[in-house]
Amino acid sequence: MRSSHGQRLRRALRAALTVSLTCSVAVSSVACGFPTAPAYPTKEDGFSGPNPVPRPGLPGDSALPLKLQPGDVLTIDLATEPPRSLAGVVIDGTGQVHVPMAGDVAIGSLGLTEAEKTLEAALKQYDKFVQVTITITDPKGQRATVLGAVVSQGNVTLIPGARVTDVIAAVGGPLTSSSDGIPVMLADLGGAVLIRGGSTQPVSIARALEGDPLHNVFMRPGDHIYVPPAFGRSVTVLGQVGGPRVLPHQTGLRLSQVLAMSGGVTVGADKGDIRVIRGSLEAPRVYQASLADFVDGDVHDVSLQPGDIIFVTDHAIEDIGEVLSVISPALSLGFSSLALAISLNQANENNGTTTTE
């Protein structure tokens, strides 16, 4: 079943292309009332500039002493007569451990020394000379979680002093791919968040990976990092290029780059008539750009925005129906399906595997 997003996009594309191609038929290769694509976003496009959520970082951040956490597996040695060792003791979800004679004792969130004293106090009701030593044999509670567009999402055991960069590195880093040898970031680092105790922290993951100490903060057990995929902010390329592409948008992404990532324009492409379709799918704006002009340095390259659709026209095709039939295979997929297929293919190429339909 086709998605409603894909249907709206197909209608918008058909309307925009019909208007633009009708104009092309009427006046050959001369632009027909379409404005030149602006070098930078404009208010007219609805892109008057980003309003990012302020993320000042965490000044004064410091590492915390080790605290026992639910899930930690312990060995509890009892110096008594005769000596005893309790192996494989798990701190349950309430922070308690079960110890013979003493029963359930709460030691979660305590440091090792404090936990040892707490257990001794509970046991000295039955053995006033007992001494307790606790060893963490499996720190399953000392973990953070990383999910989303990373190489290997999941839990990460925190070593003492671990920071954001250490945890991201432990899962293989942000997900990337390549398009014709050009690295492509598949993760939206600008939208990534650090959640602690149910609250989003004022930390930029992107700045943390750059080494900013206000953002590359110490991780704590239970912390959660989510890195969203960049495909929700994509740029689609169709028409006379090496192949249709759905590319993750990144700040500073330009028209020349996406054309190169799409295998370049074909021999029959009209380099002076590249359409940039932008804005609401119900009422898109259509701009014209000339690859030849900005390659020659006559105009600025075009800075692209999330959601832009690039259509490279073919001056040899003058019939509207013929042009629509050329792009109909891509349109008939629905762009959500097309994005998914291309995204999976890019990820599989990055991992050295192939897919079959």
CATH number for position 94: 3.30.1950.10
Dihedral, 343, 270, 320, 5 alpha carbons, nearest 10: 20
Contact yes or no for 34/288 (Cβ under 8 A):
yes
Q: Is residue 341 part of a domain?
A: yes
Q: Which residue has the higher pLDDT, 323 or 89?
A: 89
For residues 262 and 344, state if they share a domain. Answer: yes
Residues 6+ apart with CB under 8 A from 127: 80, 101
206 pLDDT more than 80? yes
For residues 283 and 245, state if they share a domain. Answer: yes
Q: Is residue 63 part of a domain?
A: no
Q: Is residue 68 part of a domain?
A: no
For residues 23 and 87, state if they share a domain. Answer: no
User: For the chain, how many structural domains are there in total?
Assistant: 3
Length in residues, the chain:
357
pLDDT tens for each residue of 179-202:
556 677 788 888 899 999 999 999
Query: And the tokens for 115?
Result: 């936990």
Query: And the tokens for 137?
Result: 């044999």
> In the structure, what pLDDT confidence band is assigned to residue 125 with cuts at 50, 70 and 90?
very high
Backbone angles phi, psi at 295, to 5 degrees: -70, -35
For residues 297 and 329, state if they share a domain. Answer: yes
111 pLDDT more than 80? yes
For residues 123 and 161, state if they share a domain. Answer: no
Q: Is residue 300 part of a domain?
A: yes
pLDDT tens for each residue of 296-325:
778 889 999 888 888 888 764 444 344 444
* Angle at the Cα of 198 from the Cα atoms of 162 and 110, rounded to 5 degrees: 55
What CATH code is carried by the domain that includes residue 10? 3.10.560.10
Q: Give the pairing type, strands 309-314 and 269-278.
A: antiparallel
Q: Is residue 185 part of a domain?
A: yes
Q: Which residue has the higher pLDDT, 157 or 268?
A: 157
Query: According to the model, what pLDDT value does residue 323 have?
Result: 40
Q: Is residue 355 part of a domain?
A: no
> In the structure, what pLDDT confidence band is assigned to residue 282 with cuts at 50, 70 and 90?
low
- Count of other CB atoms within 10 angstroms of residue 197: 9
For residues 115 and 152, state if they share a domain. Answer: no
* 229 residue type, one letter: P
CA 166 – CA 171 distance, rounded (Å): 9
Mean pLDDT of 35-61: 76
Query: And the tokens for 297?
Result: 């340095």
CA 191 – CA 271 distance, rounded (Å): 35
Query: According to the model, what pLDDT value does residue 329 have?
Result: 47
Q: Is residue 199 part of a domain?
A: yes
pLDDT tens for each residue of 244-279:
887 878 778 899 999 998 888 998 888 888 888 887
Q: In the listed set 171, 203, 228, which residue is the last one of a domain according to the structure? A: 228
Report percent pLDDT > 90 for the chain. Answer: 45
CA 262 – CA 258 distance, rounded (Å): 6
220 pLDDT more than 90? yes
Handedness of CA 201, 207, 209, 210 (dihedral sign): negative
Furthest C-alpha separation in the chain = 101
CA 107 – CA 286 distance, rounded (Å): 65
For residues 193 and 221, state if they share a domain. Answer: yes
Query: According to the model, what pLDDT value does residue 29 have?
Result: 35
- The three-state secondary structure class of 22 is helix
> In the structure, what pLDDT confidence band is assigned to residue 352 with cuts at 50, 70 and 90?
low
> In the structure, what pLDDT confidence band is assigned to residue 232 with cuts at 50, 70 and 90?
low
Backbone angles phi, psi at 61, to 5 degrees: -65, 140
334 pLDDT more than 70? no
Q: In terms of residue numbers, what domain contains 346? A: 4-52+232-350
Query: According to the model, what pLDDT value does residue 164 have?
Result: 98
Query: And the tokens for 215?
Result: 């953002």
Q: In the listed set 228, 260, 285, which residue is the last one of a domain according to the structure? A: 228
Q: List b or e across 125-159, with b for residues whose CB sees 16 or more CB atoms inside 10 angstroms.
A: eeeeebebebebeebbbbbbbbebbbbebeebebe
For residues 109 and 147, state if they share a domain. Answer: no
Query: According to the model, what pLDDT value does residue 221 have?
Result: 97
Q: Is residue 62 part of a domain?
A: no
33-40 long-range CB contacts below 8 Å, 24 or more apart?
34/275, 34/286, 34/287, 34/288, 35/287, 35/288, 36/287, 36/288, 36/289, 36/299, 37/255, 37/276, 37/287, 37/288, 37/289, 37/302, 38/287, 38/302, 39/299, 39/300, 39/301, 39/302, 39/303, 40/303
For residues 239 and 344, state if they share a domain. Answer: yes
Q: In the listed set 228, 260, 294, which residue is the last one of a domain according to the structure? A: 228
